[in-house]
Amino acid sequence: MNIESLLTAKVIEAVKECYGAEVESDKIQLQATRKEFAGDLTVVVFPFTRFSKKSPEETGKELGEYLKSHIEEVKDYNVVKGFLNVEISSAYWLEVLNEVSRDSKYGYRHEKSGHSYMIEYSSPNTNKPLHLGHIRNNLLGWSVSEIQKANGHEVKMVNLVNDRGIHICKSMIAWKKFANGATPESVGMKGDHFVGDYYVRFDKEYKAQVKQLMTEKGLDEEEAKKQAPILLEAQDMLRKWEAGDEETVALWRTMNGWVLKGFDETYRLMGVGFDKVYFESQTYKKGRDIVLKGLADGVLYRKDTGSVWADLTGDGLDHKLLLRDDGTSVYMTQDIGTAYERFNEFDMDEMIYVVGNEQNYHFQVLSLICGKLGFAWANKIKHLSYGMVELPEGKMKSREGTVVDADDLMQEMINTARETSQELGKLDGYSAEEAEDVYRKVALGALKYFILKVDPKKTMLFNPKESIDFNGNTGPFIQYTYARIQSVLRKAAEAGTVPQEASVHIALSEKEQQLIKLIAKLPDVVGEAGTTYSPALLANYSYDLAKEFNQFYHDFSILKEENDSVKNFRLLLAKVCGEAIKNAMGMLGIEMPDRM
């Protein structure tokens, strides 16, 4: 039984013994003692004064005496107004340290919860490379998945590739018009970058044609946008694709193949992956079939123009388009089909979509329409909404080519990590290959930590230079702390000392006890991060732990300590602290170098 559970049980017992009253465990309020007071845990006394008929201070003292005499782990207590601050003995915290040291996967729940998730993230379009916004999406989706696994849940990590639609046809039309048969191989480019350039080229040509129609034919801007020849060609290509035109489908397969190969390289460097990849081109027909059945059943309605809609006005929303006038599908239709296939295949307890907050309405509508269509799993659809990533210069626009490319950013981070590490001279003696591996870990650790330490709901400003600083609340600072711990353990091993379980008779300083208490919090932080879908909790916990260790390291000698029992304890404390940091950061996808 942990100390919180033990205290709760004994407070219930004390109230009954002292005042003859029964209280439920959920009425016992326990919290960490505020730093300005002596103690580890604080019991809120006010609810018990109605039983004691005494002041909060007197009631607190009576309960404190009972706890001190009935729990050997309680060293002392003090009462501040209506708060009973309980001090826990050093022996208890040393036993906690020993217990944690026996579990190299501390922070992970070892028994299965019986709860299952499918978590969709990434969801790229095959008309452009991944950018900074995708990085936040991928890192968030991957980390939330790993945190749920750490909580004992079964998790399927999936990707839905948006490989059809008008945006794909825009890249295809531009390639046909302007590429002269060029391929990624012939020009030496990654396939996703190659195709993305033609998406930008389409937009450039489209704007030029709109301007020309306005100037030469006197059309207003809205009409000119509708009549631009290159857009009409893209719309015609979409119809041909949906009709199965061989030439169109062959080009579509080729260009998608180029892009998907490029995506795979980016995912590998980023350190993310999927259990299954879905393609909209394979699910949109199922969505259309479901919509047509909903129409036949009277759940949906058709306008005179031929388009099919859902009336959501009774739910406080508007009317939602599901099939266009020409019968082609929209995103909502495709998502209905994909959800249907997923729940039929896996029947998970929750389907989490990791998608930016500009799609909040979309997922509200998706769940609502699926419910109207009679699917029992409609209420299992959840949207993990996150804020956009902005730059000092403002927002990104992929059509105009003003994006921060994911590949370029990761490479730039690796270059910066290389320069910084070489200046510090920390990797002397490493082979070039070993050093490059450390540079990669530091660079991606900096990127991942900077993005994941921000609450997902918040819009964030990304600053690459700030993220790779070796001081402050950054990934490299935490990695450096871990490497420092490994250096201490290596030196101890070279001297023939390997940490063993600590003696429970050692007197702990406040700093040492505080460090053990912080390590012990990891499972609770993992649990809360899982409940709130917030890797930021683990990121900031890792920083707090690294900062606390560095203060301990500054104040206390480890290897030069003359008392063998104390030296062993401090070595064990360092080792366990390193493992806790590694496990917490591992759930964020951040690797820990043994040396920096």
Query: In terms of Cα–Cα distance, which of 375, 385, 381, 383 is closest to 348?
Result: 381
Angstrom CA distances, 547 to 464, 541, 578, stand at: 22, 10, 12
- The whole-number pLDDT of residue 393 equals 64
What mean pLDDT is predicted for residues 412-440?
Answer: 86
467 vs 402, higher pLDDT: 467
Phi, psi of 274 (to 5 degrees): -140, 150
**The domains spanning 3-88 and 121-390 adopt the same CATH topology:** no
With CA atoms as reference, report the closest residue to 7 among 75, 59, 91.
Answer: 75
Residue 140 corresponds to which tokens in the numbers above?
């968030």
What would the pLDDT profile of 518-527 be if each residue is shown by its tens digit? Answer: 999 999 999 9
* Contact status, residue 587 vs residue 515, Cβ threshold 8 Å: no
CATH number of 3-88: 3.30.1360.70
- pLDDT on residue 396: 44
In the CATH scheme, what is the homologous superfamily, with its name and number, of domain 121-390?
Answer: HUPs (3.40.50.620)
Contact 525, 541 (CB under 8 A): yes
Residues facing 162 on adjacent strands: 125
pLDDT band at residue 424 using 50, 70 and 90 as cut-offs: confident
Q: Give me the DSSP letters along 105-167.
A: TTTS--S--S-EEEEE----BTTS--BHHHHHHHHHHHHHHHHHHHTT-EEEEEEEEB--SHH
The 10s digit of each residue's pLDDT in 72-131 is: 999 999 999 999 999 999 999 999 999 999 999 999 999 999 999 999 999 999 999 999
Helix axes 510-520, 564-586, angle to 10 degrees: 30
Measured CA distances, 192 to 133, 171, 203, 261, 424 (Å): 16, 11, 17, 8, 36
- pTM for this one? 0.91
Q: Which of 270, 267, 274, 277 is nearest to 157 (CA)?
A: 274
For the chain, which residues make up each domain, given as ranges? Answer: 3-88, 121-390, 406-586
CA-closest candidate to residue 387, choices 454, 332, 331, 450: 454
> pLDDT, tens digit, for every residue of 121-169?
999 999 999 998 899 999 999 999 999 999 999 999 999 999 998 999 9
Whole-Å CA distances, 260 to 49, 194, 279: 67, 12, 11
| Range 300-307 average pLDDT | 97
Tell me the average pLDDT of the chain. Answer: 94
Q: Selecting from 1.10.10.60, 2.30.30.100, 1.10.730.10, 1.10.10.410, what CATH number does the domain 406-586 have?
A: 1.10.730.10
CA angle 192, 193, 197 (to 5 degrees): 115
Residue 591, pLDDT > 50, answer yes
Packed helices 90-101 and 510-520: angle between N→C axes, nearest 10 degrees: 40
User: Average of pLDDT values for 491-520?
Assistant: 95
| 397 DSSP β-pair partners | 402
Interatomic CA distance for residues 155 and 114, integer angstroms: 11
Q: How far apart are CA 75 and CA 77, in angstroms?
A: 7
| pLDDT at 163 (0 to 100) | 95
pLDDT given at position 398: 43
Kind plus residue range of the DSSP H or E element containing 418: helix 406-424
